[in-house]
Amino acid sequence: MPSPSVAADHHYVYTASIADGTVYRGRLGAKTLEPFLPGGQEGRTQAAGIKTTGNRLLVAGAFTGRFFVYTNTGKLVSSYTVPHASTPTLVNDETVAPTGTHTSLIPSAPLSTGSRPSR
């Protein structure tokens, strides 16, 4: 079951499954999307919001409270759990600041390898 969130870059369109975390990708203009990042990979068992920025794909982990950053080739750059989440937390969306950081609910992190949210 894909999420209602859809993102696109210059080559592909993306959506994701809140049911199992699969991220789907297809060429712009294609009639179907294919699994790009299998559900469960890197602990991504749900996905809600999805965005592209530069060569990065940002995936909000829905009710897992997690957030994932991938390259546009599917390599994991960073993942983390939203800090201070003592109860189940919905990570539904993200935004990219002019400085190149992304924000998901509370935390923000640079879009580079090994990034961690700032507090």
pLDDT tens digits for range 64-98? 888 899 999 999 999 988 776 566 677 776 666 66
Query: Taking residues 45-71, what's their average pLDDT?
Result: 91
Average pLDDT value for residue range 27-55: 93
pTM here is 0.77
Q: CA-to-CA distance for 51 and 77, rounded, in angstroms?
A: 15
CA angle 14, 9, 30 (to 5 degrees): 55
